[in-house]
Structure 1
Amino acid sequence: MTLNADEHALLRLIAQSPEPVAASDFFHTIRPANFERSAAEEDPRRVAWQEKQFGLYKAMIDLHDAGLIRIVHPANGERPDLMEATEAGHAALN
C-alpha cells in the first residue's frame, strides 16, 4: 500500500506512541489550524481546515482497513478508540 502524506504522518505518530492512543489526538499536530479562534464558521481558512480534518478521519479508516493499525481498546463513551500500529504498519514505515 502506498501511503499518502496524511496516512504516513498519522501512522508514524501512532507507531511512535509507547501505548495505545486515540488517532484523533494527532490531527491538530498533522494539520494545525491556520486561523484565529474567533474566525467565523464560514471563514475559508476554517472551512479548508475542517475538510483536512475530515481527510484525516478517512486516513485513519484507510489505515485500519489496510491492517496497518488496530483498535486495542474500543471507545467506551468516555474516550475514543485507542489504537496501535500493527507489525504491517511498522513495516510500512521502513
Structure 2
Amino acid sequence: MVSKAETPTEGQREHLTPMQERLLGYIAFRTVDQDGTSESKRQLAEHLHSSTKTVDRAITRLCNEGYIEVKENLLPDGRQGANTYRLIR
C-alpha cells in the first residue's frame, strides 16, 4: 500500500485543481459503491476526458495529501496489474 504518513494541515493544503476534484469525486463514488476502483490510469483518463499524465499527477498529489490510498495489485503471473484507488477521508 502506498500512502504518505503525514498529511498537511488545512492551512498548508493548496486548492485542488478541477481535474483533481473530478478524480477524487470519482474515486469517492467508487469507494462507497465498491470499496475503490481498480481501473488503469488509461481507463481513468478516458473516463475523465484527460491524459494519463494528468491522471498520474492527480493520483500522486491526492495520495501525498492523504485523500486516497493506492494498493498495488499483482497478477497471478507476477506482473503489475491495475492499482486499486480508495478514498481514505
Report the TM-score when normalising by structure 2: 0.64
Taking the aligned partners of 2:61 and 2:80, their CA distance within structure 1 comes to: 24
User: One-letter code of the match for 2:44?
Assistant: F
Runs of 4+ in structure 1 off by over 3 angstroms are none
The CA RMSD over aligned residues, in Å, is 1.8
Q: Which residue of 1 aligns with 2:56?
A: 57
Separation in structure 2 between the aligned mates of residue 8 and residue 21 of structure 1, nearest angstrom: 16
Shift of 1:82: 0.4
Give the structure 2 partner of residue 41 of structure 1: none
- Counterpart of 1:27? 45
Q: Unaligned regions of 5+ residues in structure 1, if any?
A: 33-51, 88-94
Matching residue within 78, 83, 86 for 1:84? 86
Gaps of 5+ in 2: 1-12
Check conservation: 1:13, 1:26, Cα contact below 8 A.
Answer: no
Corresponding position of 1:90: none
Cα deviations by residue, 1:58-89 (Å, 9 ceiling, x for unpaired)? 01111011110002x422125221011111xx
Aligned residues: 67
Provide the identity percentage: 13
**Counterpart of 1:75 in structure 2: which amino acid?**
N
Task: Say which one has the larger Rg.
Answer: 1
Query: Structure 2 counterpart of 1:7, which letter?
Result: Q
Residue by residue over 1:30-81, the C-alpha shift from the partner in whole angstroms, topping out at 9 and shown as x without a partner, is 116xxxxxxxxxxxxxxxxxxx33111101111011110002x422125221
